[in-house]
Amino acid sequence: MSSTKIFLKSSDDKTFEIDETAARASETLKNIIDGGCLDGVIPLPNVSSNILPKVIEYCKKHGGDNGSSKKIANGGVDKDKEILPDYDEEEDKREKVRVDELKKWEEEYMDFDQQVLYDLMLAANYLHIKGLLDLTVEKAASMIRGRTPDQIRENFNINSDFTPEEEEEMILIEDEWDDEWAFD
Protein backbone atom coordinates (compact mmCIF):
# COMPACT_ATOMS: atom_id res chain seq x y z
CA MET A 1 0.00 0.00 0.00
CA SER A 2 1.42 3.24 -1.04
CA SER A 3 0.78 5.95 1.46
CA THR A 4 0.94 8.82 -0.99
CA LYS A 5 -2.10 10.91 -0.39
CA ILE A 6 -3.97 12.83 -2.99
CA PHE A 7 -6.44 15.57 -2.28
CA LEU A 8 -9.59 16.07 -4.30
CA LYS A 9 -11.67 19.20 -4.20
CA SER A 10 -15.37 18.92 -4.90
CA SER A 11 -17.43 21.44 -6.84
CA ASP A 12 -18.52 23.08 -3.59
CA ASP A 13 -14.93 23.54 -2.39
CA LYS A 14 -14.66 20.70 0.07
CA THR A 15 -11.45 18.73 0.13
CA PHE A 16 -11.24 14.96 0.41
CA GLU A 17 -8.25 12.73 0.88
CA ILE A 18 -7.59 9.55 -1.06
CA ASP A 19 -4.69 7.09 -1.39
CA GLU A 20 -2.89 7.25 -4.68
CA THR A 21 -3.47 3.54 -5.33
CA ALA A 22 -7.17 4.03 -4.84
CA ALA A 23 -7.23 7.11 -7.02
CA ARG A 24 -5.73 5.10 -9.84
CA ALA A 25 -9.04 3.31 -10.24
CA SER A 26 -10.07 6.47 -12.05
CA GLU A 27 -8.52 6.86 -15.49
CA THR A 28 -8.87 10.61 -15.28
CA LEU A 29 -7.07 10.84 -11.95
CA LYS A 30 -4.50 8.31 -13.10
CA ASN A 31 -3.66 10.45 -16.08
CA ILE A 32 -3.32 13.51 -13.90
CA ILE A 33 -1.07 11.64 -11.47
CA ASP A 34 1.06 10.10 -14.21
CA GLY A 35 1.17 13.37 -16.06
CA GLY A 36 2.96 14.85 -13.10
CA CYS A 37 0.60 17.77 -12.89
CA LEU A 38 -0.02 16.96 -9.28
CA ASP A 39 0.39 20.07 -7.20
CA GLY A 40 -1.54 19.63 -4.02
CA VAL A 41 -5.24 19.48 -4.73
CA ILE A 42 -7.05 18.17 -7.81
CA PRO A 43 -10.18 20.20 -8.42
CA LEU A 44 -13.21 18.26 -9.62
CA PRO A 45 -15.71 20.89 -10.69
CA ASN A 46 -18.23 18.30 -11.86
CA VAL A 47 -18.48 16.31 -8.65
CA SER A 48 -20.24 17.62 -5.58
CA SER A 49 -19.31 16.94 -1.99
CA ASN A 50 -22.16 14.54 -1.37
CA ILE A 51 -21.14 12.30 -4.27
CA LEU A 52 -17.37 12.48 -3.97
CA PRO A 53 -17.15 10.42 -0.73
CA LYS A 54 -19.21 7.76 -2.42
CA VAL A 55 -16.81 7.73 -5.35
CA ILE A 56 -13.82 7.58 -3.01
CA GLU A 57 -15.41 4.69 -1.15
CA TYR A 58 -15.64 2.79 -4.40
CA CYS A 59 -12.11 3.61 -5.40
CA LYS A 60 -10.78 2.44 -2.04
CA LYS A 61 -12.50 -0.88 -2.48
CA HIS A 62 -11.41 -1.30 -6.04
CA GLY A 63 -8.08 0.48 -6.13
CA GLY A 64 -5.94 -1.33 -8.63
CA ASP A 65 -8.37 -3.89 -10.00
CA ASN A 66 -10.94 -2.79 -12.48
CA GLY A 67 -12.09 -6.19 -13.57
CA SER A 68 -13.76 -7.39 -10.41
CA SER A 69 -17.08 -5.74 -10.82
CA LYS A 70 -17.37 -7.13 -14.28
CA LYS A 71 -17.13 -10.64 -12.90
CA ILE A 72 -19.93 -9.83 -10.56
CA ALA A 73 -22.03 -8.48 -13.33
CA ASN A 74 -21.71 -11.86 -14.99
CA GLY A 75 -23.37 -13.52 -12.06
CA GLY A 76 -20.25 -14.09 -10.00
CA VAL A 77 -19.30 -17.33 -11.68
CA ASP A 78 -17.29 -17.63 -14.79
CA LYS A 79 -19.22 -19.87 -17.09
CA ASP A 80 -16.23 -21.31 -18.89
CA LYS A 81 -14.79 -22.46 -15.63
CA GLU A 82 -17.81 -24.55 -14.96
CA ILE A 83 -17.39 -26.38 -18.18
CA LEU A 84 -13.65 -26.78 -18.17
CA PRO A 85 -12.77 -29.53 -15.74
CA ASP A 86 -9.15 -28.60 -15.11
CA TYR A 87 -9.13 -25.69 -12.73
CA ASP A 88 -7.82 -25.37 -9.24
CA GLU A 89 -10.66 -26.00 -6.85
CA GLU A 90 -9.00 -24.27 -3.92
CA GLU A 91 -8.31 -21.23 -5.99
CA ASP A 92 -11.86 -21.25 -7.20
CA LYS A 93 -13.22 -21.43 -3.68
CA ARG A 94 -11.12 -18.51 -2.52
CA GLU A 95 -12.17 -16.58 -5.59
CA LYS A 96 -15.78 -17.39 -4.90
CA VAL A 97 -15.56 -16.17 -1.31
CA ARG A 98 -13.91 -13.00 -2.50
CA VAL A 99 -16.51 -12.46 -5.16
CA ASP A 100 -19.33 -13.14 -2.72
CA GLU A 101 -17.91 -10.69 -0.27
CA LEU A 102 -17.53 -8.08 -2.97
CA LYS A 103 -21.01 -8.71 -4.17
CA LYS A 104 -22.38 -8.15 -0.73
CA TRP A 105 -20.38 -4.98 -0.40
CA GLU A 106 -21.68 -3.72 -3.71
CA GLU A 107 -25.22 -4.48 -2.69
CA GLU A 108 -24.84 -2.30 0.37
CA TYR A 109 -22.92 0.28 -1.55
CA MET A 110 -25.60 0.56 -4.19
CA ASP A 111 -28.34 1.26 -1.70
CA PHE A 112 -29.16 4.88 -2.48
CA ASP A 113 -31.85 6.89 -4.16
CA GLN A 114 -32.17 7.75 -7.79
CA GLN A 115 -30.68 11.22 -7.66
CA VAL A 116 -27.50 9.77 -6.21
CA LEU A 117 -27.54 7.12 -8.91
CA TYR A 118 -27.68 9.77 -11.62
CA ASP A 119 -24.92 11.80 -10.00
CA LEU A 120 -22.75 8.75 -9.53
CA MET A 121 -23.19 7.81 -13.17
CA LEU A 122 -22.11 11.26 -14.23
CA ALA A 123 -19.19 11.28 -11.81
CA ALA A 124 -18.05 7.82 -12.87
CA ASN A 125 -18.24 8.89 -16.47
CA TYR A 126 -16.34 12.09 -15.81
CA LEU A 127 -13.65 10.35 -13.78
CA HIS A 128 -13.52 7.33 -16.11
CA ILE A 129 -14.06 4.74 -13.43
CA LYS A 130 -15.19 1.91 -15.61
CA GLY A 131 -16.20 -0.43 -12.81
CA LEU A 132 -18.35 2.16 -11.12
CA LEU A 133 -19.88 3.23 -14.40
CA ASP A 134 -20.74 -0.37 -15.21
CA LEU A 135 -22.19 -0.88 -11.80
CA THR A 136 -24.37 2.21 -11.78
CA VAL A 137 -25.46 2.11 -15.39
CA GLU A 138 -26.28 -1.54 -15.03
CA LYS A 139 -28.52 -0.65 -12.14
CA ALA A 140 -30.30 1.97 -14.19
CA ALA A 141 -30.56 -0.41 -17.13
CA SER A 142 -32.05 -3.07 -14.92
CA MET A 143 -34.83 -0.64 -14.08
CA ILE A 144 -35.65 -0.42 -17.78
CA ARG A 145 -35.10 -4.00 -18.84
CA GLY A 146 -38.23 -6.00 -19.41
CA ARG A 147 -40.52 -3.12 -18.45
CA THR A 148 -43.31 -1.54 -20.39
CA PRO A 149 -43.05 2.15 -21.21
CA ASP A 150 -45.52 2.83 -18.41
CA GLN A 151 -43.41 1.05 -15.89
CA ILE A 152 -40.31 2.85 -17.07
CA ARG A 153 -42.05 6.19 -16.67
CA GLU A 154 -43.08 5.22 -13.22
CA ASN A 155 -39.62 3.99 -12.24
CA PHE A 156 -37.93 7.18 -13.29
CA ASN A 157 -40.77 9.60 -12.74
CA ILE A 158 -40.85 10.60 -16.36
CA ASN A 159 -43.77 12.29 -17.97
CA SER A 160 -44.96 11.29 -21.39
CA ASP A 161 -44.81 14.34 -23.60
CA PHE A 162 -46.20 12.71 -26.69
CA THR A 163 -49.22 14.17 -28.36
CA PRO A 164 -52.30 11.97 -28.48
CA GLU A 165 -51.73 11.48 -32.21
CA GLU A 166 -48.24 10.24 -31.62
CA GLU A 167 -49.44 7.88 -28.97
CA GLU A 168 -52.14 6.59 -31.25
CA GLU A 169 -49.51 5.92 -33.85
CA MET A 170 -47.30 4.15 -31.36
CA ILE A 171 -50.10 1.91 -30.25
CA LEU A 172 -50.63 0.94 -33.86
CA ILE A 173 -46.97 0.11 -34.16
CA GLU A 174 -47.18 -1.86 -31.00
CA ASP A 175 -50.04 -3.91 -32.38
CA GLU A 176 -47.87 -4.56 -35.33
CA TRP A 177 -45.09 -5.70 -33.07
CA ASP A 178 -46.94 -7.91 -30.72
CA ASP A 179 -48.93 -7.92 -27.58
CA GLU A 180 -46.21 -9.61 -25.66
CA TRP A 181 -45.35 -6.50 -23.76
CA ALA A 182 -48.13 -7.35 -21.43
CA PHE A 183 -46.65 -10.74 -20.70
CA ASP A 184 -43.45 -9.57 -19.09
- Binding residues for another protein, rule: CB under 8 A, are 75-77, 82-86, 114, 117-119, 121-122, 125, 133, 137-138, 140-141, 143-154, 156-162, 164, 167-168, 170-171, 174, 176-183
Q: Which is nearer to another protein, 13 or 88 (CB)?
A: 88
Residue 173: how many CB atoms within 10 A of its CB? 9
- Tell me the closest approach of the beta carbon of residue 136 to another protein, in angstroms: 8
Q: Which is nearer to another protein, 39 or 161 (CB)?
A: 161
DSSP state of 42: E
- Tell me the closest approach of the beta carbon of residue 37 to another protein, in angstroms: 28
Phi, psi of 84 (to 5 degrees): -70, 130
Q: Which is nearer to another protein, 21 or 48 (CB)?
A: 48
Order across the sheet with 5-9: list the strands: 15-19, 5-9, 41-43
Q: Which is nearer to another protein, 41 or 141 (CB)?
A: 141
Q: How far apart are CA 82 and CA 136, in angstroms?
A: 28
Q: Which is nearer to another protein, 34 or 82 (CB)?
A: 82
- Tell me the closest approach of the beta carbon of residue 57 to another protein, in angstroms: 19
- Tell me the closest approach of the beta carbon of residue 74 to another protein, in angstroms: 10
Q: Which is nearer to another protein, 79 or 108 (CB)?
A: 79
- Tell me the closest approach of the beta carbon of residue 33 to another protein, in angstroms: 26
Tell how strand 41-43 and strand 5-9 pair up: parallel
- Tell me the closest approach of the beta carbon of residue 38 to another protein, in angstroms: 29
Residue 104, CA distances (Å) to 55, 61, 135, 176 in order? 17, 12, 13, 43
102 half-sphere exposure, CB direction, 13 A CA radius: 24
CB under 8 A, 24+ apart: contacts of 114-118: 114/156, 114/157, 116/50, 116/51, 116/54
